[in-house]
Amino acid sequence: MKQTQRLPVSCNKDCGAGCPLVAEVADGRLLRIRDNPLRPSHMSGCVRGYQMGRAVYHPERLRSPLVRTGPRGSGQFREVGWDEALRIVSRGLERVRQSPGPQAVLRLGGSGSCRGAVHNTELLSRRFLAGFGGFTDTTGSYSSGAESFVAPYLFGPGHVRRSGIDPATLRFSRLILLWGANVEDTRFGCELAARIREQKRRGVPVIVIDPRRSRTARRLADRWIPLLPGTDTALMASVLHVLISEDRIDRPVIRRISVGFDALERHILGLDDGQAKTPLWAEKICGVPPETVVELARLYGRSRPAALIPGLSIQRTIGGEEAVRMAVALQTATGNVGVPGGSSGTNIWSRLPGPRCPRMPVPPTPQPAGVPVYCWPDAVLEGRAGGYPTEIRAIYNVGGNYVCTGSDVNRNIRAFERVELAVSHEYFLTPTARCSDVVLPVTTFLEREDVVFPETNHLLYSHRAIEPVGNTRNDYTIFCQLADRLGFGEEFSRGRSAGQWLERFLQDSEVSDIDEFRRTGIYIGADQERCGLSDFVSDPDDHPLDTPSGRIEIASRPYAELGFSEVPTWRGFQPTPAYPLYMITPHARYRVNSQYANDPWFAERESQELWMNPRDALNRGIGRNSRVEVESPQGKIRVEVRITDRIMPGVVSLLAGMWPRIGADGVDTAGAANILTSTVPTEPSRSSRTHSVAVQVRAV
């Protein structure tokens, strides 16, 4: 009889959560993954973690290094041994280092293993390339670039990390506004959705504001308010207009904790530009009836404390920076910042310090150079002539599928075709790996040991549940071996194995009983009901923010010096007659970005379809169960259409993350949304605008 071993593990993926799980193993083979029975009651995993075994044992999983034999993107490779693969990579990197220099290497990746103390693809790749002599790094984030850029202007750079809330504080909320936040599918912490569900059962109103009736809207919302993509700032402004007009704002709190609200109030009332931001004004922009705005504002104004939880979607638009600023202004005006049951109005993550535990250190980079990650293909294709700091000759990609997940797939492919050397660490022959010269097969979180940092006040211990499949190696080992070949092995590893690094981090952590931590897999931080900025709100003079004023800066002069409005204001994006429909690209429930896109089991449970409102379909002669052609200035796709009133008129929706399948005619037939998106970013953050896309849809 086989003896089953149960080992605590945790996903180390870029899904926004980090969950306490248990792997059940017999005779060295994974049987199943389930929730850790010792987890706190509100924490649970999801189907993507439970089904990780499908990726581990997938027939297409890479088990040996690959070297390209045909054109980039052709999928023509030969299997080689590790010695040959590492020799090709090290010689290629050395050629670039000699001429034109190490900064000609562009670092991509980071999402493959993003939560580990040791096995962290972002930290490891930066550490390796810093030892290499320098590199061109990617800055910002596809996920939250605009929010991360603008938050320091509101709270100060030192207080951004203290501006969140623990999900447990939602038990004090009397209203929860999920503004573009699909918490049932995109998991930002493994207890947030459960806490909201609990509040709904208690009778607390939950309002979902989103162009589509998402799974969150169906399961949690007392009311779904659809609005046109990228118009969140205008709707927020009109809500604030009602609150000001009906004297529902908290002026003493505003004066005590913020500066610049008087300038914003003038703007909202139209005293600066002659246009009051009334609900009638907002209707023409957002498509939301004025009476709905008034009802929302009155409910919001009388329901305190209220938690406004914005999704990352509202800042992945042209002018997304302003949506973040206006959300903070709303929460400040209503006295909901820094109080239990409220929120700061920014960041869907908890964004509070977790338990102390070191991570892999990254030394200073010689002559650092950076390009916005959203514009990485432009940096490759345009170089210094396009205003970028370096001429890129090599791409080193660790755990990222950038050809697929970056905007404008065709441009991404051209960027890979331009460089002299492209290397990827991967599980599968993804679209990005297909465009690489060498692909190095790496282990999953089930095949290595680590401490994982979830988006809550916990630490998770993740055991090595099984031996590495095939001839795979972990990223740390690969970098150690490459660093040895390139002459800085001792500097990179400091003579430590991955296990020795992990032991050192544990000894320097706040975990007192390490054996118990390994046994249970969970370390729980002392305070589970923290409310960010509460000390500042209680006494702004003794606990000032590190902004120029020491207060929340509703009006920001440093931000205005970038060439934008001192107060938050709507900066719109609108379709054109040639491309009259807005398109949004939400995350899929059954994918982590593009991971699992190649697995039929997941594909059967979530069809890749274009959602279209019946009115828009009728106007184009599009019937049910038909295929359509979707076109933008960047490209064309053909995909099945789903006619549904779960998407508002004027908007279509296509899930992000599908691997492209581009035919000889240049048209994608897989439904890869990023065929249609643009690398032109939102400013001034130079970040993602993948919900500001204009398309035309035609019947095929």
88 and 170 share a domain? no
- Whether residue 77 is contained in a domain is answered as yes
467 and 508 share a domain? yes
Q: What is the CATH number of the domain that holds 256?
A: 3.40.228.10
Q: Is 26 left (phi over 0), alpha (psi -120 to 50) or beta?
A: beta
pLDDT at 594: 87
The 3-state DSSP class for residue 612 equals strand
The segments of the chain whose pLDDT lies below 70 read 1, 350
Range of the domain at 518: 66-142+365-524
516 and 405 share a domain? yes
Q: Report the distance separating Cα 684 and Cα 150, nearest Å.
A: 9
Q: What is the CATH number of the domain that holds 689?
A: 2.40.40.20
Question: Residue 601 corresponds to which tokens in the numbers above?
Answer: 């089991």
- Whether residue 19 is contained in a domain is answered as no
Q: Report the distance separating Cα 434 and Cα 72, nearest Å.
A: 7
The domain tally of the chain equals 3
- Whether residue 233 is contained in a domain is answered as yes
- Whether residue 25 is contained in a domain is answered as no
104 and 237 share a domain? no
pTM beyond 0.85, yes or no: yes
Say which amino acid occupies 337: V
Q: What is the CATH number of the domain that holds 399?
A: 3.40.50.740
- Whether residue 158 is contained in a domain is answered as yes
Question: Residue 293 corresponds to which tokens in the numbers above?
Answer: 């705005």
622 and 668 share a domain? yes
74 and 170 share a domain? no
- Of 667, 599, 598, nearest to 636 by C-alpha is 667
256 and 278 share a domain? yes
Quote the percentage of the chain above a pLDDT of 70: 99
Task: Report which secondary-structure segment, H or E, holds 464.
Answer: none
164 and 292 share a domain? yes
Residues 566/557, Cβ–Cβ less than 8 Å: yes
- Whether residue 32 is contained in a domain is answered as no
Question: Residue 269 corresponds to which tokens in the numbers above?
Answer: 């009332």
pLDDT at 350: 67
316 and 376 share a domain? no
315 and 190 share a domain? yes
Cα separation values, 282 from 239, 287, 294, 665, Å: 9, 7, 11, 42
The tokens 């508002």 sit on which residue? 648
- Whether residue 1 is contained in a domain is answered as no
211 and 235 share a domain? yes
552 and 515 share a domain? no
Q: Report the distance separating Cα 667 and Cα 638, nearest Å.
A: 7
